A and B are shown apart, each in its own frame.
Chain A
Amino acid sequence: MSTLTGTDVVEVRGLTRAFAGRRVLDGIDLQIRPGEIVALIGRSGSGKSTLLRILAGLDRDVTGEVRVNGTVAVAFQDARLLPWKRVRDNVALGLRHENRVQVAEAALTEVGLGDHFRAWPLTLSGGEAQRTSLARALVREPNLMLLDEPFGALDALTRLTMHQLVFDLWERHRPAILLVTHDVDEALALADRVVLLADGRIAHEEHVALDRPRDRDHPDLVGKRNRLLGELGVNTKGQVH
């Protein structure tokens, strides 16, 4: 690991992960700068979740160099709240400083759940659960937020408000974000850089320099979307090659 410089939040070089001989990740190089939003897209099985799990420290059985500088927080697709803990205690879970409760309440207020401190997770809607999950990630003041398809299970409208929320939170706290998604539009709406994984390799990258919130039909985005969809093997009419 000594060859890496340490200025980027994420430094990955030659990362390979094999399951039963099959290389799910095959020599990945990836840098993420502080405060950068990177979207990782790919078809299912392309290794994008595996990469996120490795960065989260959940999978260490790898070869290559992986370095994460700073604190990491994760928001999972399934929100993953402890059903037996009230929303506020879920957010404060694992914090050890004295004003953990106030911090948790502040974060919940920030994600729009100011009146749900004492609610049980099972009474929340899908969007509310994801907001709680974001609040839980936020209170850890991460340098890197890993979002594993956090909006995949939400309806289209809720998803749009969540995009806005993620952007607002990012503006205030400026963590680097790695967003794993299979939704090209979601990636283009949020990311500075879209990285496309295919067969365990980085097959394509698109940089997006537009201000957010972005107009979905901006001419720059249309071209990028078509290229990304093309790389994913889908033409613009939605047909698979």
Chain B
Amino acid sequence: MPGEQELEFAVSAIESDTPVLPNMGADQASVYTGTVQAGPIPARRRGYRPRSTRGARLISPIIVLIAWQLTHVFKLVSETKLPPPSYLVTTAYNLIFHATPAFGSLQDALLQSLERFALGFFIGGSIGVSLAVISALSRTGEAAVDPLLQMVRTVPLFGLVPVFIIWFGIGVEPKIMIVALAAAVPLYLNTYAGIRAIDGRLFELGKVLNLSRRELYKNVVFPGALPTALVGLRQSTGAALLALVVAEQINASGGLGFMINQADQFGRNDVILVALLVYTILGLLTDWIVRILERRALAWRTDLVIR
């Protein structure tokens, strides 16, 4: 982190105080250097400056990919243990365009997984947020809801899988329930904390302005809790994806987890890796969506920073 701060400092120095280079005659250039040396060091601004990091976020994954490929080029690891990315591209191609009875096709598996993820996430997320509102705004609600959630929080999802199969059968339901549970908990905890952290004086303001209950929720409670709730959303998507992998490897007849299971039976390390990579891409994708949400919803904070 200190490195990043320094970098940021340098960037803001360049942006805010340095004029764009004029088409330089020799004397202009010297005037220009003079200004820089004499000019005060600009104070570091509050918060982070909005920089375009879209491309930058791809750099480190690409470096990892290259290093991975190099292990193959220099024959450091055997191909069956760790197939190189180039090999996996072929595997992925085959999984997409030549569906087999053993594995099905990658896109079908992905769609099935996505459906379970979306459904489970929606159910769990709604429950988590609703319970958080109840728990944060009512003493009775808190007494009723919070201990349960605090207990559920610590239950290992793996341990729940067999129980859920007994309860919900071996169809799609137990998988969705596992995902829902995983999604509910972080959203609950963070939304609850977010609402509790709202400045009590703002509720007082609501009272003075005669806001109705609905107006209070819309204008104070939800926007006030949003920054923290979004942290919960990010954690929830991650937890739900993890839960999906676990759930799908048991008694599934489709989806990415199923594909991994099958590949394990057939000793196809490359297929497992392709499926896992798709999961990581899902991780990147959900993160990207949350980022977009944050940028939209927290514009009032970034404006502070831009000024």
Contact = CB atoms under 8 A, between A and B. Distances in A.
Interface in A43-62: 56-58
Interface string A53-95: 0001110000000000000111010101011110000000110
Nearest to A73: B208
Contacts of A78: 201
A76 B201 contact: yes
A76 B223 CA distance: 21
Contacts, number: 51
B201 A120 contact: no
B303 A123 contact: yes
Interface in B194-211: 201-202, 204-205, 207-211
B219 A74 contact: no
B127 interface: no
B300 interface: yes
B300 A84 contact: yes
Contacts of A140: 209
Contacts of A4: none
A9 B299 CA distance: 42
A84 B210 contact: no
A73 B219 CA distance: 19
Contacts of B211: 93-94
B304 interface: yes
Interface string B220-258: 100110100000000000000000000000000000000
B205 A80 contact: yes
B301 interface: yes
B300 A83 contact: yes
Contacts of B204: 58
Contacts of A82: 202, 205, 219-220, 223
Residue in A85, A93, A136 whose Cβ sees the most chain B Cβ within 10 Å: A93
Contacts of B299: 120
Given A57-B208, A94-B209, A94-B215, A80 B304 contact: no
A58 B219 contact: no
A78 B209 CA distance: 16
B223 A84 contact: yes
B302 to A, nearest CB: 9
A94 B201 contact: no
A57 B204 CA distance: 10
B208 to A, nearest CB: 5
Contact of B209 (A84, A93, A122): A93
Given A82-B220, A82-B223, A74 B208 contact: yes
Given A58-B208, A93-B211, A94-B215, A80 B300 contact: no
B188 to A, nearest CB: 22
Contact of B307 (A73, A74, A93, A123): A123
Contacts of B303: 120, 122-123
Interface of B: 201-202, 204-205, 207-211, 215, 219-220, 223-224, 226, 299-301, 303-304, 307
13 contacts: A57-B208, A76-B205, A82-B205, A83-B300, A84-B223, A94-B209, A121-B300, A122-B300, A122-B301, A123-B304, A123-B307, A136-B209, A140-B209
Interface of A: 56-58, 72-74, 76, 78, 80, 82-85, 93-94, 120-123, 136, 140
Given A74-B208, A93-B215, A120-B303, 12 more contacts: A57-B207, A58-B207, A58-B208, A76-B205, A82-B205, A82-B219, A84-B223, A84-B224, A84-B300, A94-B210, A122-B300, A123-B307
